[in-house]
Amino acid sequence: MSILLDGQSRVLVQGITGQQARTHLTYMVKYGTRVVGGVSPGKGGGEVGGIPVFDSVRSAVRACPADIAVLFIPGRGVRDAALEAIENGIPLVVILAEGVPHHDSADILRRARFNGIRVIGPNSQGMISPGKAKLGGTGGQFPERMYRPGPVGIISRSGGMGGEIGSALSRRGIGQSTYVSIGGDLLIGTAFVDLLPLFEADPETRAVVLFGEPGTGHEEVAAEEIASRRITKPVVAFVCGEALEGLPRGMSFGHTGSIITRGLGSPTRKKQLLREAGALVPEHFDEIPDLVAQALAGAQA
Amino acid sequence: MARLLEHHSLDLLAKGGVAVAPYRAAADPEAAAEAARALGGPVVVKALVPTGGRGKAGAVKVAETPAAAADAARELLGRTLGHFPVTQVLVQAMVDIREEYFCALTFDSMSRSPVVLFSAAGGVEVEDLVRHRADVLVTRPVEPGPDLPLFLAREIVESGGLIGQHLLDVAATLTRLYRVFRTNDAFLVEVNPLAVDEVGKVVAPSAVVVVDDQAHFRHPEWDQLIDPGSSNGWRPLTPLERRMREIDAIDPGSAIRFNEFADGRIACMLTGGGSGLLTFDHFLRLGEMPATTFDITPGKVEEKMYLATKSILGRPGLAGLIAGGNITNFIPIDVKVRGVVRALKDLGVDARRFPVVFRYAGPGVEVARELAAEVPGVEFYDETTSLELAVERIVARVRQAGL
């Protein structure tokens, strides 16, 4: 098992005729992702790598119903494309673009909530259920270099560091059930607290790793969820960015969500809450594989 | 994010139908006196810099006469405030404040929506309000959309404790401020205090507007408004940071983010938002402040990496360089390394004397390793060495070298 994505998931690629989309489409399909169609307004009727291209999501889903839409669309075009996927009822919409204006993200996420659609991102690197399927850039051309099937779920606000976690676990001989890159923006559709119950319910997953960052309240809410005992599987939670607490306000490393505003969202506090909630909270990133191994051994016993 | 100067912020409010205290910008004492004459009556003279805390810093002065306004301007101009040199002052008609409220619009990560902040206890710093008077601060997430419904504005103001005509007038102002927030792609609109004057009129004597520079593509008018230095939020760009912007401009396909720190000695070019934060943490744990942070998004990056490395290494007092980042999925890292190595060769860097550590992982790693070997003494690590270990390595090398 896995969450949200497996080899049966029918995927629609929006912006399929773009260069990046074409490259990643090849990798996605080669890995086993079931891509049923693509959308590129004005280029309907053609095909990319044997995948039919439509002018609109509406005509695409009529011909080939989809469970997931993945958007290879630059930031300025995201609002329109995401609303199109949402209005056409695709239950899961994955937004990869960086630099989506905040007012656009708010509009998209509002409409998604209203229509009961799950949005991952913006600024997500995608997701992967190792050995089954992958979306977006995650894993690149050789996903097996970084990810292998196994019992650990990963949720990360940093796409790159999610890859580091996957890679470090795989080298340690620990595989992953699903890795979801939830995106580094201030406004994202899906947070830790939304995915923890899915991993809890997934029989294959036996432990979850979270990678948190400064800013927002997502780690704090995850801590509440863990403390509630609704999550019984061990959670290893790493939060980076303590250094930001000592820097002038307004400094950011490119993740708008990581800007600490009004004294809230400090990594120190997040870690404290997660620790109190019962999560395993390493000080060093490099401790993660050991902690996961221990958690798995403990969960077994 | 880019914080607009106050006169530009007030322009946007005025255009949106919000009553503001009349103002003029002045670049010298004579212009300040002239502005005071034109405005008539007592004025407030404020340093025009894109940073907060001006009141506490003594950069807001009351002047009863044009001559006093000139004196105030003379005193402020040439000062440096929160790292920003004062090159202009704002001369503004003084408001006879009878009531003062606090009002702000921004985004809330948890409700994923705009949020309205309102308090009847205005005129104090927002941090103090949040920390000490949270009980009198109304925080209300609202649905995104072109308008803030009037009834909702009334509810918010009512929750803040206002009654009667003030409730109605402030609520109406709030709906206008929301439209300013929305139509200008603002990340923050803050009016503190939002005042009621002696004739009962709701007026904004000051305003802060921070625009979302990710929406710059649909706001060509910002070209004139955004001071490149203000997007950093806390100080103007250094010459090296300005140079990095020029380098970034050679290709719009990828974007560089760069910061320089005066007290660091190890140049850090570790890319990726998360890995940048993580390695920064680790540097500090080891008692070492990095001299730089550097990030670059995918695109045609070789030339940018070449120029950036060359510029960064031109900074005096550096003791070492670490370059690389988290494991990449598809970006061929040899392209980046090619740029860095070319710069190192150009500069004649001998990494046996000036420590250089690479930590690159991803497609093209074999080629990258060979390229790195062309510079004597470069230590090359891939994903089997963690980012934290790579940071420890450069710090150890620099310390060994007795630098």
Q: Where are the domains of chain B?
A: 22-93, 99-224, 237-400
Q: Which of A76, A140, A163 sits opposite B326 (nearest CB)?
A: A163
Q: Give yes or no: residues A177 and A69 share one domain.
A: no
Tens of pLDDT along A37-80?
A: 999 999 999 999 999 999 999 999 999 999 999 999 999 999 99
Instruction: Kindly list the residues from chain B whose CB atom is less than 8 angstroms away from the CB atom of residue A164.
Output: 275, 326-327, 383, 386-387
In a domain, A176, yes or no: yes
Question: ipTM value of the model?
Answer: 0.93
**Is some CB atom of chain B closer than 8 A to the CB atom of A263?**
yes
Regarding whether A281 and A215 lie in a shared domain, the answer is yes
At residue A246, does pLDDT exceed 80?
no
Instruction: Give the domain-ending residue among A125, A159, A181.
Output: A125
A198 and A107 in one domain?
A: no
In the prediction, which pLDDT does B237 show?
A: 83
Give me the pLDDT at residue B81, please: 85
What is the edge-to-edge ordering of all strands in the sheet holding A133-136?
A133-136, A126-129, A176-181, A149-156, A207-212, A235-239
Residue A138 lies in a domain: no
Q: Note whether A77 and A164 are same-domain residues.
A: no
**Is the pLDDT at A254 greater than 70, yes or no?**
no
> Which residues does residue A226 pair with via DSSP β-bridges, in sequence order?
none
The CATH number that applies at residue A178 is: 3.40.50.261
Q: What is the pLDDT of residue B229?
A: 47
Residue A204 covered by a domain: yes
Q: How far is CA B320 from CA A154, B79, B146, B206, B317, in A?
A: 34, 35, 52, 46, 9
In angstroms, what CA-CA distances link B139 with A300, B98, B167?
45, 24, 17
Instruction: For residue A186, give the nearest of A113, A243, A255, A244 by alpha carbon.
Output: A255
Residues of chain B contacting A284 with CB distance shorter than 8 Å: 282, 388
Q: Would an 8 Å CB–CB cutoff place A160 in contact with chain B? A: yes
Residues A51 and A171 grouped into a single domain: no
Q: Is B274 close to A75, i.e. CB distance below 8 A? A: no
- Active-site residues of A: which are they? 255
My answer on whether A182 and A290 are in the same domain is: yes
Give the model confidence (pLDDT) of A152-184 as tens digits.
Answer: 999 999 999 999 999 999 999 999 999 999 999
Q: Is residue A161 part of a domain?
A: yes
Residue A289: predicted pLDDT: 97
Q: Does A219 touch chain B (CB under 8 A)?
A: no
Count CB-CB contacts under 10 A for residue A218: 25
Residue B131: list chain A partners with CB under 8 A: 263
Q: Does A135 reside within a domain?
A: no
Question: With an 8 Å Cβ cutoff, is A138 touching chain B?
Answer: yes
Domain co-membership, A81 together with A202:
no
Do A286 and A158 reside in the same domain of the chain?
Answer: yes
A289 touches chain B (CB under 8 A): no
What pLDDT shows up at residue B230?
47
Output the pLDDT for position A256: 54
Q: Which chain B residues are Cβ-neighbours of A190 within 8 angstroms? A: none
Residues A30 and A119 in one domain: yes
Which chain A residue's Cα is nearest to B143? A110
Q: Do A156 and B274 touch (CB under 8 A)?
A: yes
List chain A residues with CB under 8 Å of B275: 158, 160-161, 164
**Residue A139 within any structural domain of the chain:** no
Q: Which residue of B has its CA nearest to A289?
A: B386
**Calpha distance A161→B190 (Å, rounded):** 35
CATH number for the domain that contains residue A113: 3.40.50.720
What pLDDT does A154 receive?
98
Does residue A62 sit at the B interface (CB-CB below 8 Å)?
no
In total, the C-beta contacts within 8 angstroms joining chain A to chain B are 183
Hey, is the C-beta of A101 within 8 angstroms of any chain B C-beta? yes
Residues B69 and B44: their CA atoms lie apart, in Å, by: 8
| Interface probe, candidates A164, A165, A170, A249, chain B, greatest B C-beta count within 10 A | A164
> Best residue in B112, B128, B178 to probe A by mutation, most A CBs within 10 Å?
B112
Residue B306 tokens read as 């070449």
Q: Which of A22, A161, A209, A219 to mutate to test the interface with B (most CBs of B within 10 A)?
A: A161
Give the pLDDT score at B121: 86
Task: Specify the number of domains making up chain A.
Answer: 2
- The third-level CATH classification (topology) of the domain covering B237-400 is Rossmann fold (3.40.50)
Smallest Cα distance from A301 to chain B, Å = 30
- Asked if the Cβ–Cβ distance from B363 to A142 is below 8 Å, we say yes
Given CB atoms, is A141 within the 8 Å cutoff of chain B? yes
Do residue A163 and residue A221 come from a single domain?
A: yes
Closest-CA distance, B381 to chain A, in angstroms, reads: 14
- In a domain, residue A213? The reply is yes
Range of the domain at A120: 1-125
Domain covering B99-224 in this structure, CATH number: 3.30.470.20
Show residues of chain B in contact with A248, CB under 8 Å.
233-235
Name the CATH architecture for the domain at B22-93.
Answer: 2-Layer Sandwich (3.30)
Do residues A190 and A219 share a domain?
yes
Return the higher-pLDDT residue of A299 and A239. Answer: A239
- The pLDDT assigned to B370 comes to 97
Residue A136 domain flag? no
Query: How much is the pLDDT for B232?
Result: 52
Strands (E), B54-206: 60-63, 80-81, 84-85, 89-93, 99-108, 113-119, 137-141, 186-196, 202-203
Q: Which amino acid is at B352?
A: R
Same domain, A52 and A187: no
**Residue in A138, A104, A140, A98 with CA at minimum distance from that of residue A121:** A98
- H-state helical runs in A44-190: 57-63, 78-87, 102-115, 159-171
Q: Rounded to an integer, what distance in angstroms lies between the CA atom of residue A109 and that of residue A194?
A: 14
φ, ψ of residue B20 to 5 degrees: the values are -120, 155
Which of A75, A99, A106 is opposite residue B112, by nearest beta carbon?
A: A106
Band (A13; pLDDT cuts 50, 70, 90): very high
Based on its alpha-carbon atoms, the radius of gyration of chain A, rounded to whole angstroms, reads 19
Instruction: Give the integer Cα–Cα distance in Å for A145 and A97.
Output: 24
**For testing contact with chain A, the best of B102, B209, B277 (most A CBs within 10 A):** B277
Could you tell me if B258 and B277 are in contact, meaning their C-beta atoms sit under 8 angstroms apart? no
pLDDT value at residue A258: 55
Look at the block and give the residue holding tokens 């695709």: A90
What is chain B's pLDDT, residue by residue, as a tens digit (403 residues)? Answer: 888 999 999 999 999 999 999 999 999 999 999 999 999 989 999 999 887 778 888 889 999 999 999 999 999 998 988 778 899 999 999 999 999 999 999 999 999 999 999 999 887 776 676 667 777 889 999 999 999 999 999 999 999 999 999 999 999 999 999 999 999 999 999 999 999 999 999 999 999 999 998 999 999 999 888 855 445 556 778 899 999 989 998 988 888 989 899 889 999 999 988 999 999 999 999 999 999 999 998 888 999 999 999 999 999 999 999 999 999 877 789 999 999 999 999 999 999 999 999 999 999 999 999 999 999 999 999 999 999 999 999 999 999 987 6
